[in-house]
Amino acid sequence: MRIPGHKRYSDPDECGSRAGVFAEAVRDGDMELAWSMLSKETKGMRMGVWATRNDIDMQVAYRAAYDTSHPQRATMLEDFRTTVLRLWPLEDLTGLGVSPTNYVDDEHAFAFLPFGLTLDVDRLAHRKLMPGIILPMLLEDGEWRVDLPGWRFLEVEGQGQTGPGPGLG
């Protein structure tokens, strides 16, 4: 799959590094950190999906999303982790690297985290085809955040149009 946008730098930057921290947080079960790295739109989408699937009032879901002491927060975050791990097998989240970020514009980017890099090689020095995770990122409040609705920038295979692509619904 072609990653939208253009590389601005030849080395990985803060955007890609933050995507890597997010993937590591999911892998390590630190869902508080992973949740804090999501864009506002992604958090809202996940709250709605969790509330709908579990017949939970949206006000309760909102409180769980933003109150770290809420009794249902752990359940909501575990549901989020389970959803992510359905798309990214846990074993794939070991040995991730960071490649240079592709920027769509000044606020939207895609970070590519290739699989299977060794401890000695955590960054890609040259371009080559390899499997990995593509994370849409959004510059929000001066910080790069994981923007799962950002899949809308990916082209729909064979149609040359942008579309929703895979998501974490």
Question: pLDDT by residue for the chain (169 residues), tens digit each?
Answer: 677 788 888 778 899 999 999 999 999 999 999 999 999 999 999 999 999 999 999 999 999 999 999 999 999 999 999 988 888 877 778 778 888 899 999 999 999 988 876 544 444 545 556 778 889 999 999 999 999 876 555 544 444 433 333 445 4
Cβ count within 10 A of residue 163: 12
Cβ count within 10 A of residue 140: 15
Q: Residue 10: its pLDDT value, please?
A: 78
Q: Is 18 exposed, middle or buried (0-12, 13-18, 19+ CB in 10 A)?
A: buried
Which token pair is 66?
């933003």
Note whether 64 and 72 are within 8 A (CB). yes
Q: Residue 86: its pLDDT value, please?
A: 86
Please identify, in words, the CATH class of the domain defined by 1-169.
Answer: alpha beta
Q: Residue 156: its pLDDT value, please?
A: 40
**Pairing, β 102-103 against β 6-7:** antiparallel
Q: Residue 46: its pLDDT value, please?
A: 92
CA atoms of 31 and 76, how far apart (whole Å): 10
How much is the pTM? Answer: 0.81
Note whether 8 and 105 are within 8 A (CB). no
φ, ψ for residue 114 (rounded to 5)? -70, 145
Note whether 113 and 19 are within 8 A (CB). yes
Q: Residue 1: its pLDDT value, please?
A: 60
